[in-house]
Structure 1
Amino acid sequence: MNRIAAVLLFLSMLPPTLPGEDAVQLKWEELPALPDALGFAGPFVGVHPIAAADPQAADEVLIVAGGANFPAPVWENEKVWHDRVFVATKDQGTLHWTEAGTLPRPLAYGAAVSTPEGVLCLGGSDSEQTFRDCFLLRWKPQSKQIETIDYPPLPTPCAFGAATIIGSVVYVAGGQSDSALSSAMNQLWSLDLSLKDSPESFQWRSLPDCPGKTRALNLTVSQHNGFESCVYVISGRRQEGDQTEFLKDVWEYSPSTQAWRKRSDAPRSVMAGTAIGFGQSHLFVLGGDDGELFGRADELKDDHPGFIRQALAYHTITDTWTSAGPTPINQVTTIAVELDDSIIVASGEVRPRVRTPSVYRVTPVTSTHGFGGLNYVVLFGYLIAMVGVGVYFANKNKNTDDYFRGGKRIPWWAAGCSIFATMLSSLTFTGVPSKAFAQDCVYAIGNFMIPVVAVVAVFVALPFFRRIDATSAYEYLEKRFSRRVRMFGSASFALFHLFRMAVVMSLTGLALAVATPLTPSQSVLLMGILSILYCTMGGVEAVIWTDTIQTVVLLGGAVVAIVLLVSGCEGGFGGFVESVTRADKVNVANLHFDATSGRTALWVVIIGAIGQNLSSYTADQAVVQRYMTTETQRLAARSIWTNAVLTIPATILFFGIGVALFAFYQSHPEKLDPTITTDQVFPLFIAREMPIGLAGLIVAGVFAAAQSTVSTSMNSTATAIVTDFLRPQQVCSSEAGYLTAARVLTFLMGVAGTLLGLIFVDPNIKSLFDTFIAVIGLFMGVLGGLFILGALTTRANGSGAMIGALLGASVMFCLWRFTPLNGYLYTATGISTCVVAGYGASLLLPQADKDLAGLTIHTLGEAA
């Protein structure tokens, strides 16, 4: 133990992979200015996507409408309100402005949000009054003019407020109801744009007021907080008597619970500023007035230095603020919008009475960190070694029994490690920590169901498969039901694993893009090609031994990672405990009955986990195949128990890493890269904080974990096709022919999975864990249902089983496509639907009695 502790201490003192600039950096680029010499304060700004309406036109246009300014000389003239509308089209990375009409009246200081239909303008004021009008500005590319469409008015007049949109729902917070700041409000209104065809429902709703103080000139933005997209109300200004108060508090509103939560204050007041959600969990505040020179405008006049030029970044998950670097200008009383994956800030006020026509494009910049030569050596050395394993076992495969079952000579402990690695996958290594980082440890309870299901696997499923000496798990379905059910089950399995390969490779490629110089597509190609090489050559024996090596590497790497994370927290272990306790990151149970909530209920986790694991340990060829690689049933049972035992410390480790990541980045928010996804947070730590060499080994291990999952799917799918389709039809004339067919099919499955993986690369996926769980549920529920129906009943027959399977598949598709049900329940729903419908159909469509000796729990003791 002392030696291990010394090694870990030594590793923690090694330098990280390569030093780099940690602070969040923004690139500011000036674009063509607004075609007005003065510019405007308080304009309505938004983006109208028009590609769907006119495929020949530009896909998005920037709209700037209304606003107010002071004609020069600004200290000698009164404020003037405007009604002009400017539209900027895109061409070769720049903007081309045109004047495209007018507003219904001169108007400024309202709120605006970008919608698929156009820019929705809300409230505002002129020199005499404040309005409650709402209208949509739509760009008509044919006439090159703006169209105005009236929308339901706000509940009360409102100016100097701010709005945001989540999905189809618009939210308006803060503002003042007349020209006096003392009329500032703390209301929250919402309008669901999806109801616009139902006039009686298409009205503004009053939601719970913000618990903070009344405010105007506040910032209102939306962003995901790890559980759901929320509304954030930040800073503002209010007046009490003769005193003006500059606020810096932050409030978060949950649309699902309609509850407010206080968050960490901004470092300073940013009233009247521009803010926008960017990426998956960051907010940027690009401008704002800190109030230091408020009240001195008449004294300073042209000597006023302007508002503070410093951007801020807020991370919604860790609830932390950090600097986002200096800004070339501070434009207040305008609206920041997203255009082409960048942020646009148009016009606005730069100091009292002075506006600007300037338009800036702001782009978050990924800080540059090299991967390091030693990491490259370790990474490619490890991957080449895995291919070497395939080459080593290539000559040991004399027939399909060797290729598919390793000649039943695999040690039980290696088979157990292979089951563990197959169920683990690279997504566990990246997806589970990111889930705990973003949320909590609720899903850990699901993994603790594996030892429970292991009892069923050992004492129910295993005897069936060993009794019939199955190579394919779906041989059981033919003996129990019919050839048709067997082929359906085998085809469903093959389809599932084809998608599983694609999902694992694409999501792993996305997660590792931040840790290596490889693009997601290049990572997918690397994983796919190497998997095809060693799996096609070495068969299941190569797969199992690479799985075993990978198990040691990943678990060892996880231990080192959690030590480095905890020691890197501010305050060490004590700071780590305080941070995760305060944020309730070790929560393991949400006690409610909502099956659609982002805060997953305990009963959903338990039922969902039992369903998923029952299907995997009874109906997944990739797992069942491991049962058949050991010499005896007793040794196969040991392999199952080995996996169950490994699951407990692995669960604690991987969820512990996620919790430790939260504490580490809460201590060091400047190290979070706003350009990454939440699922890339652990690879980010590996690449930038782990010692050189070790980072390469862990990244290689993640690659190998993905390859293990992919190679398992390739081999198992080829096994199912050869055993369930080719052999029954006697397609080949010799054992050598079937071995060749197995290798060809393994190769083809690998190529197909890799190509699908390239298609599936999608950086907008919020959670690898959730996506993977949904994919498992959509396919494995029916297969698990078929095995349970066959094993637990004696009256179920082939026709009833097919009806149950088809109905179960239909129900799961509908749940996925048309309901917000938590994907964790898909498998359990599929199992129950298949069993109930299959049994009922069997009673309605009875068939001739079939010999069920040894094929159900009721006849297991009978002679086969």
Structure 2
Amino acid sequence: MDDFGLLNWTILIVYLLGNLLMGSLLSKKVDSAEDYYLGSKTIPWWAIGLSVMATYVSAMSFLGGPAWSYGNGLGVMMIQVNYPLVVFLVITLFLPFFYNSGVASIYEYQERRFGRKARGVMSVIFMMSQTLSSAAVLYATALVLSFITGVDVVTAILVITLIALVYTLMGGISAVIWTDVLQAVILLVGAAIIFYALLDRMPESLVTTLGELKAQGKMNILDFTFDTHVEATVWSGVIAMVLYHVTVYGANQMVVQRALAARNIGDAKKSFLFMGFTAFFIYFLFLLMGVLFYSYYGGREFENSNTIVLQFAADYGLPGLLGVVASAVVAASMSSLDSALNSLATVTTLDFYEKYFKKGASSAHYLKASRWFTVVWAVLIIVPAILFAQTEGSVLQLLTKVGSYFVGAKLSMYALGFFSRHTTERGLLIGVAAGFMAVWYAATQTDVAWPWFCAIGAVVNMPVAIVASLLLDGRQEKLSAYTIQGQKTMFREQSLPTKDGGWYLIPGKVDRVSWLLVGFFLATLLFLYLFSVLI
């Protein structure tokens, strides 16, 4: 970018200063480690919902979404169509376990259900996967700054990390959530402006353009082939990616920690319902923009496809537009990075430092330790971010591929905890090892598409874990209270209330409003079918 300009710089700098100011104001409410992890449990559900959305529907979508569909067509929408089903499962199975327990680290569930080793393994898996995915987010942000200012990508990585680190250190989870709200608004405004500008500049009408794209094979959304070598099909989206995203949203400290900061179980569930009903529209917008860009630029190749949106903003020439778009991408990326830093510090402090190195210290001590661990993780994330800078493909596709190696193990560990009576810790860990080996083999020795890696890991992991448990430890006579059936038994025997404000506290019980998610999912499939047929 030759000249970013004073107006664009002003917009971007004002936004960055606003984040730091918000972090400073919220830092006055952080007096203990609990405040740093969970806030004061007074954050409204809609703010948590916007925070969840901003974290995962972020710069990965704003940059990587158009880049992905630019190259592969609108069919990649099937990878993202499953969120209503995902949220249905998460708020029915996962959230009640975590919220009722009053924990700050969701991996404490693994210790209560299986043992300390299971908790440690799950925590390490989270740290590894989150570090890599956060590095991809950081790279996306640095790419923006490098593109618009000419600053070296490595320098941009360091600058963005420092800014996100500072306000996260000051305000903890409250700063993360409230800055995410600001970032979500900026993201959506930026996306709306770009979409309008794109339609304004298209040489032909939208209907005509879509018809031409259909003739070029860019609008084939619903692919019903059972070929597991194809990345985006109906079956990979509805089966494989449901399993993948259930783990991403249900067994991920970075996401669930927000819900644990809600006032009650109802607010926690409503924050996820927000994502379930809005994700489709946001992903569809970003991916539709990609195929429209393909038409606008005549399918020309870009040196780095993740810069398409930024290039269009520069070409459009509206004063301040590039500043708004740059702020939107930086904002969205930082919403993911700050969340990762806070959750990684939380898990490190609770699952390792407090448990094995410094038991019984004061809350003030753990707050100080959490802030130091936040700094450590910021440094550790920088290294893979620099390595990711060597890639030229879609950063959204890259991020999703990175996560696919780990989710099978996480899904299996929670599924067995919820539903299996006889799985023990020793059998569970053997199953995890077998699942990782299966995913490694599929990734390196076969042409199976990455969306199926989670399913492959789970299909191998679970039966191996059950058989190994039976062989090593035999059948378990006592039903764990941390299975779904055990929870139902406990609520019944202790005459505990099953609802709070009309929302189920018992895992496995479906709230009435949750059925609307299933209906909404079917409606989105019908919409995609009609959209692809009628254009």
TM-score range, shorter chain: 0.7 to 0.9
Amino acid at match of 2:39: G
Amino acid at match of 1:781: G
Structure 1 residue 863 displacement after superposition: 2.3
Report the Cα offset of residue 713 of structure 1.
Answer: 0.9
* Alpha-carbon distance change, 425 to 838 in structure 1, aligned in 2, over 3 angstroms: farther
Give 1:554 deviation, angstroms: 1.0
Residue 442 of structure 1 pairs with residue 75 of structure 2: yes
Within 1, Cα distance between the matches of 2:220 and 2:302? 28
Matched, 1:743 2:371: yes
Q: Kindly, what percent of the aligned residue pairs are identical?
A: 27
AA aligned to 1:372 is: G
Residue 686 of structure 1 aligns with an amino acid whose one-letter code is A
Aligned 8 A contact 2:421 2:480 in 1: no
Q: Structure 2 residue aligned with 1:761, among 389, 396, 400?
A: 389
1:560 aligns with 2:193: yes
Within the candidate set 240, 250, 270, 1:608 is matched to: 240
For the residues of structure 2 that align with 1:850 and 1:538, how far apart are their CA atoms?
47
Identify the structure with bigger relative contact order (alpha carbons < 8 Å, sequence gap 6+): 2
5+ long unaligned stretches in structure 1: 1-367
Contact 1:797 1:846 (8 Å CA) reproduced = yes
Q: Distance in 1 between matches of 2:86 and 2:402?
A: 20
Matched, 1:832 2:465: no
Task: Report whether the alignment pairs 1:593 with 2:226.
Answer: yes
Please give the secondary structure, in 2, of the residue aligned with 1:374.
helix
Alpha-carbon distance in 1 for matches of 2:302, 2:97: 51
Shift of 1:847: 5.5
Match of 2:484 in 1: 857
2:237 maps to 1:618: no
- Partner amino acid, structure 2, of 1:747: V
Shift in Å at residue 659 of structure 1?
2.0
Deviation (angstroms), 1:451: 0.8
Determine if contact 1:800/1:840 at 8 Å carries over to the other structure.
yes
Task: Name the structure 1 match of 2:426.
Answer: 799
Separation in structure 1 between the aligned mates of residue 80 and residue 233 of structure 2, nearest angstrom? 15
2:295 aligned with 1:663:
yes
Matches within 5 A, 1:89-104: none
Whether contact under 8 Å (1:808, 1:833) holds in the other structure is yes
8 Å contact 2:131–2:381 — kept in the other structure? yes
8 Å CA contact 1:795, 1:839 repeated in 2:
yes
Structure 2 counterpart of 1:494: 127
Superposition TM-score, scaled by structure 1 size: 0.55
The whole-number CA distance in structure 2 between the counterparts of 1:407 and 1:851 is: 37
Task: Spell out the pairing of 1:142-541 with structure 2 (5 A cutoff).
Answer: 369-510=2-143, 513-541=146-174
What is the TM-score normalised by the length of structure 2? 0.87
Corresponding position of 1:116: none
**Greater Rg over alpha carbons, structure:** 1
- Once the two structures are TM-superposed, the CA of residue 603 in structure 1 deviates from its matched residue by 1.5
1:400–1:739 Cα contact (<8 Å) kept: yes
Is 1:789 equivalent to 2:404 in the alignment?
Answer: no
Question: Is 2:405 the counterpart of 1:778?
Answer: yes
Structure 1 equivalent of residue 304 of structure 2: 677
**1:706, 1:769 → 2: CA distance?**
12
Q: 1:628 aligns with which of 230, 243, 260?
A: 260
Counterpart for residue 138 of structure 1: none
> What CA distance in whole angstroms lies between the structure 2 residues aligned with 1:690 and 1:860?
59
* Alignment of structure 1 residues 536-547 onto 2, 5 Å: 536-547=169-180
Q: Which amino acid aligns with 2:328?
A: G
The CA distance in 2 between the partners of 1:456 and 1:617, in whole Å, is 10
Q: Does 1:704 align with 2:331?
A: yes
Query: What is the CA distance between 1:489 and its match in structure 2?
Result: 0.4
What residue number does 1:814 align with? Answer: 441
Q: Confirm or deny: 8 A CA contact 1:808 1:830 kept in the other structure.
A: yes
Write the distance in 2 (CA, Å) between the matches of 1:411 and 1:487: 32
Alpha-carbon distance in 2 for matches of 1:725, 1:850:
31
> Which residue matches 1:842?
469
Letter in 2 for 1:745: F
Structure 2 Cα separation of the partners of residues 720 and 852 of structure 1: 28
Answer whether contact 2:38 2:261 (CA < 8 A) is retained: yes
Query: Deviation of residue 485 (structure 1)?
Result: 0.3
Alignment match of 1:583 (pick from 216, 221, 239)? 216
Alignment partner, residue 182 of structure 2: 549
Q: 1:600 to 1:649 in 2, by over 3 A?
A: closer
Q: For 1:381-439, what per-residue CA distance to the aligned partner results, in whole angstroms no more than 9, with x for missing partners?
A: 11121122211111211111110111212111111111112222311111111111112
Q: Report the equivalent of 1:245.
A: none
Deviations 1:128-177 (A, max 9, x none): xxxxxxxxxxxxxxxxxxxxxxxxxxxxxxxxxxxxxxxxxxxxxxxxxx
Q: Matched residue pairs, number?
A: 490
RMSD between superposed Cα atoms in Å: 2.0
CA shift at 1:707, angstroms? 1.3
Bigger proportion of residues as helix: 2
Deviation for aligned residue 1:827: 1.9
Write the distance in 1 (CA, Å) between the matches of 2:116 and 2:20: 37
Distance in 2 (alpha carbons) for counterparts of 1:696 and 1:850: 63
**Unmatched runs of 5 consecutive residues or more in structure 2:** 492-535
Question: Structure 1's 585 and 574: CA in aligned 2 closer, same or farther, altered over 3 A?
Answer: same
Aligned to 2:273: 641
By how many angstroms is 1:756 displaced?
3.0
Distance change >3 Å, CA 752–CA 562, structure 1 → 2? same
